[in-house]
Structure 1
Amino acid sequence: MAILTIFGAMALFLSSVVAQNCTALTPKAPLKLAEGYTAELILNGLNIPRDIVFDTAGNLLVSEQGGAGIRRVVLTETDGKVCVASSAQLIDDNTLNHGIAFSQDGKTLFVSNMASVFAYPYDAEAGTVGTKKTLIEGMRSGGHITRTLLTPASAPDILVVSRGSDGNIDNTTTDVEAGKSIIKTFSITELLASTAAANFATGGEVLGWGLRNSVGLGEDPSTGGIWSVENSADDIHRSGVDLHNDNPAEELNYHGLIKDANNPLKGKNYGYPACFSAWQTTNIPENTGITIGSQFGGIAGTPFENVTARQSMEDVDDFCRTERQGPSLVFPAHTAPLDVKFKEDGSAAIVAFHGSWDRTPPDGFRLGKIKFADGQPVANVSDTTAVEYIVENQDNTKCPGSCFRPVGLAFDKKGRLFMTADESGELFVITGV
């Protein structure tokens, strides 16, 4: 695959973000692009930008995790080049840390912090919000703090909320009623009409659980299928062997059609904390039957860690493969996928691999493209080449401190992909996708 290179120097960070007037900006870290793609930096100086979403007027809203709340970025176009006309704070709330979504009519903005989900009336033309209403609460915990939101076009009255585990290995999540490591759905109509906020653990319906930390949620517009990307565990051991550098795999998981009343995947358990997916199989002890993408157990500190004569490690692995829902695709360990978004025609999914500290050498820190057909990945679960990497760092050895780390993704109406990089405080537009 031919590679084009963008060389960049350290970008000047601004204490307050202002209009860029189509001035060419230099990325903080040198990037390399697959042939046929372009990446333009259109805004910098953002305060840990995370998830992003377009309003009905074509403005981009950015969730800033660095204590800034929600930012509204007004875009314009000059000779086919996307430019920032203005950028200003929309919601001043230093607890907001990731989640952001619009109702399908664009008149209600949903945002989240570690504990709660909120709704604001929103005027896209004026760029203003009304009075905040708390919709869901009861999610405060340690561990993973983001609460990702999705409002599927195929089910306009549904709000999807993803909550991760309380720590690396959270054995309380073996109980679905704990309301952790789980994706739930709520009726927007009921949430807005209620005088009291719903409790996350007891309210809503379970879409999937046994999901350690599914930060990225996406809908395939061509089918209405709901997908998530899973950040799996760190520092795992099995039978005294350290597996963590290449296991467990990160996952792409399918949750079916929310609009289908008979969705066979609704409520399925995807394995965590008892079962994990394999990326590299040769260093797994007692690995009979384990293949790339298959689930296995016996991880230290989890259920099934200690096996008995009546329950061999092979029995545990068989349970994980037959009694838990497996992934559709797997990715290298610790690449940390944080978002997944689909092309309008459903021909590809784009995944932001944020990258992780828990591997030598570092891995991730890149944007990947996965081919789809008929609502499913073209590749099978054991294919380690399913992802085409289209934007990468020129030098991953500088990661995570001095490289671009993609997070939020959003397509505009012209099919251009917008992407945040949180550590460098940047917003890019990518073409050729």
Structure 2
Amino acid sequence: MFGSIQRAATAASLLLGLIGSTQASTSYCYNGLKPSYVPPVIAPGYAAQLVVSGLIKPRGMVFDSTGALLVVQAGAGIIRIEFHKPGEDESRNCLEGLGSMTQVTNLVENKNLNHGIELSSDGKTLYASSNVEVFRWAYDPAAATATDQQTVIANMSSAGHITRTLLFSRKHPDILFVSQGSSANLDPKALDPSSGISQIRAFNMTSLTPGQVYSYPSDGVRLGWGLRNSVGVAEHPATGAIYSVENSADQIHRGGADIHQDNPGEELNDHGVFDPAALFAATPENQGPNHGYPHCLSLWSTDIPDVGSMTVGSRFVYDDMKGLGGDDATCGRDYVPPRLTFAAHTAPLDIKFTTAGDAAYVSFHGSWNRDRPAGYHLAVVSWNATSGEPIEPTDSTTAAVDVLTNIDNSVCPNACFRPAGLAIDGEGRVFMTSDSTGEVYVVQRVATGLWRGVD
């Protein structure tokens, strides 16, 4: 299918584990692959390993029904990575039960794909997105084939933020969520609820007739709007509540002061338990609440002019929006606040819940417009598995606990890993792509802070 793309030599360069190559380390597990930069630091209670290298801008990931990992390579297509099952491979990696890689298959060649990927609930239909379209293929996990490409959603905006994150509801498996960000840093188009800009929309894929193509945004219903760029979208496994992580605005001023170094904060937004019957029956003006962008942003640092009684997570207005009828009080009253706020410019790109629903992992891609780089790490947020709510209060500054970090962010983004997509396998291991370095890491909880098999 792919011809010369990533032939056997490339597959060999992606091998996960090599016999006898483990070296003693307290912060990183070497087993055949070593990053070209200083290895990352792991939090106590976790183990981690670099398991794949040599990829082309890997972004979103999903596991198929056989345990193979499907990865979007931005600007290239989709590959499928198979692993030895536990007990099949004598040269296991440092992480318990993780076998070496057996094969890389090129599933889809499509240079327009850039981030989003998802599988239907039966695992037989593969979905992926470009900046303007959502595609699907008939997927056979046993044969490792994806055939009969079809466009199922079209007419998305091609400007600005180009990722179109995809998520199938597990509670309502007919429903595909599509997230589209803004077309500019401060985008006035987002003020129009019918624009589809800075929104998450829901589409019923079983209602799609053969040959039909949904038009975005009119053929979908609005789950939420005023969301500048919610790249990560996830469904809590117990309650069905939808959460998203939002990348907020850059270069913000307030009261004539430049406050962009530490404001606005990035957001974790709660979209509630999804009720398709109610949402699809709602009139357009009643579909999904407004979360504030571009009128209102969320406070991270309270060191700003006229802070008053505001605290972390409070909605505030900034200079570009003054004179348009809004103020801090309006922001606090008329728009849905974030459930949690994260440090400014850390750029969360994905969120994945554990099977138990007691935690969510978040990949922070990292800043580009901050004097001291921020982000560039994988973090975990504790959740109440029963209520489906984060444990930390809304004004917490410690909700995101570092799991995998770069030892020196000052060398980022050129000499460090940069987290993008996440996927969790059946054993609870967290797989994370680093798009800037073409790598995949695996992170796993362990009984102690030491690696398996490390002195």
With the length of structure 2 as denominator, give the TM-score of the two structures. 0.86
Amino acid at match of 1:339: D
**Equivalent residue number for residue 10 of structure 1:** none
**Equivalent residue number for residue 139 of structure 2:** 122
Do the aligned partners of residues 15 and 268 (structure 1) sit closer, same or farther apart at CA in structure 2, a change above 3 Å counting?
A: farther
Preserved CA contact (<8 Å) 1:271 1:325: yes
After TM superposition, list the pairs within 5 Å mapping 1:106-185 onto structure 2: 106-185=123-202
- Residue-by-residue CA offset, 1:260-293 (whole Å, 9 max, x unaligned): 64589960110000000000012x2222232110
Whether 2:428 is the aligned partner of 1:415: answer yes
**Equivalent residue number for residue 252 of structure 1:** 268
Shift >4 Å, 4+ stretches: 260-266
Please point out which of 357, 377, 381 is paired with 1:370.
Answer: 381
Amino acid at match of 1:278: L
Amino acid at match of 2:17: C
**Equivalent residue number for residue 118 of structure 2:** 101
Instruction: Give, in angstroms, the shift of residue 317 of structure 1.
Output: 0.7
Amino acid at match of 1:88: T
**Equivalent residue number for residue 300 of structure 2:** 279
**In 1: Cα distance, 2:412 partner to 2:160 partner:** 23
Preserved CA contact (<8 Å) 1:211 1:271: yes
Instruction: Give, in angstroms, the shift of residue 257 of structure 1.
Output: 1.5
After TM superposition, list the pairs within 5 Å mapping 1:265-344 onto structure 2: 267-282=288-303, 284-300=304-320, 304-306=321-323, 316-344=327-355
**In 2: Cα distance, 1:129 partner to 1:89 partner:** 9
Name structure 1 gaps, 5 residues minimum. Answer: 1-13
**In 1: Cα distance, 2:420 partner to 2:163 partner:** 12
Preserved CA contact (<8 Å) 1:154 1:259: no
Instruction: Give, in angstroms, the shift of residue 239 of structure 1.
Output: 2.4
**Equivalent residue number for residue 42 of structure 2:** 33
**In 1: Cα distance, 2:420 partner to 2:36 partner:** 16
Name the stretch that deviates more: 268-277 or 28-37.
28-37
Amino acid at match of 1:226: I
Instruction: Give, in angstroms, the shift of residue 185 of structure 1.
Output: 0.3
Percent identical: 45
Name the stretch that deviates more: 261-270 or 170-179.
261-270
**Equivalent residue number for residue 414 of structure 2:** 401
Whether 2:370 is the aligned partner of 1:359: answer yes
Amino acid at match of 1:345: A
Please point out which of 75, 86, 95 is paired with 2:103.
Answer: 86
**Equivalent residue number for residue 10 of structure 2:** 16
**In 2: Cα distance, 1:347 partner to 1:399 partner:** 31
Do the aligned partners of residues 236 and 82 (structure 1) sit closer, same or farther apart at CA in structure 2, a change above 3 Å counting?
A: farther
Instruction: Give, in angstroms, the shift of residue 141 of structure 1.
Output: 2.2
Preserved CA contact (<8 Å) 2:201 2:217: no
Amino acid at match of 1:362: P
Instruction: Give, in angstroms, the shift of residue 398 of structure 1.
Output: 0.6
Whether 2:73 is the aligned partner of 1:57: answer no
**Equivalent residue number for residue 205 of structure 2:** 188
**Equivalent residue number for residue 3 of structure 2:** none
**In 2: Cα distance, 1:21 partner to 1:140 partner:** 38
**In 2: Cα distance, 1:371 partner to 1:262 partner:** 30
Partner of 1:253: helix, strand, or coil? strand
**Equivalent residue number for residue 11 of structure 1:** none
Do the aligned partners of residues 397 and 207 (structure 1) sit closer, same or farther apart at CA in structure 2, a change above 3 Å counting?
A: same
Root mean square deviation of aligned Cα: 1.8
**Equivalent residue number for residue 4 of structure 1:** none
Instruction: Give, in angstroms, the shift of residue 429 of structure 1.
Output: 1.2
Instruction: Give, in angstroms, the shift of residue 163 of structure 1.
Output: 0.2
**In 1: Cα distance, 2:431 partner to 2:318 partner:** 41
Amino acid at match of 1:358: N
Instruction: Give, in angstroms, the shift of residue 21 of structure 1.
Output: 5.7
Preserved CA contact (<8 Å) 2:105 2:144: no
Name the stretch that deviates more: 23-32 or 52-61.
23-32
Preserved CA contact (<8 Å) 1:274 1:299: no
**In 1: Cα distance, 2:188 partner to 2:64 partner:** 39
**In 1: Cα distance, 2:45 partner to 2:108 partner:** 37
Instruction: Give, in angstroms, the shift of residue 248 of structure 1.
Output: 0.2
**In 2: Cα distance, 1:244 partner to 1:105 partner:** 45
**Equivalent residue number for residue 441 of structure 2:** 428
Amino acid at match of 2:357: G
Name structure 2 gaps, 5 residues minimum. Answer: 1-7, 19-31, 447-455
**In 1: Cα distance, 2:232 partner to 2:430 partner:** 16
Size of the aligned set, in residue pairs, is: 408
Partner of 2:383: helix, strand, or coil? strand
Partner of 1:16: helix, strand, or coil? helix
Instruction: Give, in angstroms, the shift of residue 83 of structure 1.
Output: 1.9
Amino acid at match of 1:98: H
Please point out which of 225, 230, 253 is paired with 2:241.
Answer: 225
Do the aligned partners of residues 15 and 239 (structure 1) sit closer, same or farther apart at CA in structure 2, a change above 3 Å counting?
A: farther
Please point out which of 242, 262, 266 is paired with 2:258.
Answer: 242
**In 1: Cα distance, 2:244 partner to 2:203 partner:** 17
Please point out which of 54, 74, 83 is paired with 1:75.
Answer: 83
**In 1: Cα distance, 2:202 partner to 2:210 partner:** 16
**In 2: Cα distance, 1:260 partner to 1:70 partner:** 30
